[in-house]
Amino acid sequence: MPWTLHLALRQLFPRGRRFPAFAGVSILGVGLGVASLLVVQTVMNGFGEEHRLRIRESFGDVVAVGAGAIERPEALALALAGDPAVRSAEPYAEGPALARSGDFSSVAFVRGVRPADPDLPARRYVADGSLDGLDDGRVALGRGLARQLRVGVGDRIEVWAPAMAERAERGRAPLPVELEVCALLRTGFTEVDDRAALVPLRRFRELWGMGERAHGLTLRLRDASGPSAEASAARLEAAHPGVRFRPWTAIKRDFLEAIRFEKTMLFFLMFIITLVASFSIGSSLFSAVIRRSREIGVLAALGASPASVASVFAVQGLLIGGLGTLLGFALTWAVLAGREAILAAINALFGDGDLVGQVYQFGFVPLHYEPWDFALAAAFTLLTTTAAGLVPALWAARRRPTDAMRDA
């Protein structure tokens, strides 16, 4: 071990002292800064990932739509399924309807799907009941919608579709259809859970009077990454004139951009915390350099070069930064592991019980660990704390030994 590192370690962690106050407080400050930065980044990444996943699950990796409804969707689905990039293509139709159960009613966003579709994302979110029984007499509801209607699996609801108004115009009574709830869905995405109702596509067409038409097709790709989806959409659009293919990255693009922007802004805001911690390290090291003036003079008398004297203090900044970063990583893990308890406490303190759900549309705190964020946080922290140590270190190195010893 070089003597400069040995001396730096001894000055930071003096022997025989229970708590090395300067080192302890500095490392804790850096650790808290790094943890704030990474907790925010990881949660924001989680929100972004969850939103992207929900968008892909709701609309597919690529959505195909026409100028109006698609006339022969099954034929188009068959043609698209033959494309090597496409794993499956399923027609869909969707629209709002009024749902009612006794004294309770709500607007439901009904989607017609093929129950036998093996890629149907709703299968992953069944909280109660089963989608296997989804037929013309049944409906699957989002859990929030079911709660609004006060129904559970096995209960019946009435549904009024807008097309029923045409019957009233023709002098016939617009009777609602009665459907039995076969499944409750819980995606954790409030917008879906509070509105979604799934019925077979055949039943939807009947209620909406759509004949064989569909509103569009959802395509699942073999490679659903953003660039691949965009390339496939462009290629398919060229091959199928009259049909527009939108990759998932283009759906709700503004929303995704807003999340990305929010993440970037939060990164800079949180980074200021680390910067403040670094400034306090710089200030503490400056006082240490002044306090240790005599020792700096002695080092020079022993023959230490100015660079060696500087490195004793610069290494202290680096050590504080390195240990603070490691502590920050550990704190990040601890906070994220206990995030649900923290969220419950925040909700209890500031909200009406579902603050995050109201703001971010999720009933939980999603996470996505991004190694790049950790590397960036570590690099920034090491850079700023080393710089914070370097300034007083250079000042110490430039002092003449006699001045240092005289000022002590």
- For the bound state, the minimum distance from the C-beta of residue 406 to other proteins, rounded and expressed in Å, comes to 9
Options 61-69, 293-301, 330-338, 377-385: segment touching other proteins (CB under 8 A): 293-301
By CB under 8 A, name the one of 119, 253, 402, 407 that touches other proteins. Answer: 402
Exposed e or buried b per residue across 366-396, where buried means at least 16 C-beta atoms within 10 angstroms of its C-beta: bbbebeebbebbbebbbebbbbbbbbbbbbb
Which segment (52-60, 85-93, 344-352, 395-403) binds other proteins by CB under 8 A?
Answer: 395-403
CB-nearer residue toward other proteins: 25 or 298:
298
Exposed/middle/buried for residue 174 (C-beta within 10 Å: 0-12, 13-18, 19+): middle
Options 107, 251, 298, 367; binder of other proteins; rule CB under 8 A? 298
String of contacts with other proteins for each residue 109-128, x by CB under 8 A: --------------------
Three-state secondary-structure class, residue 82: coil
Instruction: Answer whether 322's CB lies under 8 Å from 8's CB.
Output: no
Nearer to other proteins, 308 or 347 (CB): 308
Element housing 327 (H / E): helix 306-337
Strand segments, DSSP code E, in 248-401 are none
Among 141, 304, 388, 390, binds other proteins (CB under 8 A): 304
Q: Which is nearer to other proteins, 15 or 170 (CB)?
A: 15
How far is it, in rounded angstroms, from Cα 89 to Cα 236?
Answer: 12
User: Which parts of 305-324 interact with other proteins (CB under 8 A)?
Assistant: 305-308
User: Is residue 11 at the binding interface for other proteins, with CB under 8 A as the rule?
Assistant: yes
Q: How far is the CB of 391 from other proteins (least distance, A)?
A: 19
Distance CA 289, CA 393 (A): 8
- Please tell me the distance from the alpha carbon of residue 34 to that of residue 277, in angstroms, as a whole number: 10
- Kindly state the smallest distance separating residue 15's Cβ from other proteins, in Å: 7
**Residue 405 lies near other proteins (rule: CB under 8 A):** yes
Contact positions with other proteins (CB under 8 A) in 13-32: 14-16
Closer CB to other proteins, 76 or 309, in the complex = 309
Q: Determine, following the binding rule CB under 8 A, whether residue 1 of this chain makes contact with other proteins.
A: yes
DSSP run (H or E) holding 92: strand 86-101
The distance of closest approach from Cβ of residue 312 to other proteins in the complex, given in angstroms and rounded to an integer, is 10
Minimum CB–partner distance for residue 38 and other proteins (Å): 33
CA distances from 147 to 151, 204, 280 (A): 6, 23, 53
**DSSP run (H or E) holding 74:** helix 73-81
Q: Nearest Cα to 181, choosing from 163, 161, 196, 164?
A: 196
Q: Which is nearer to other proteins, 11 or 249 (CB)?
A: 11
Q: Applying CB under 8 A, which residues contact other proteins?
A: 1, 3, 6-7, 10-11, 14-16, 294-295, 297-308, 400-402, 405
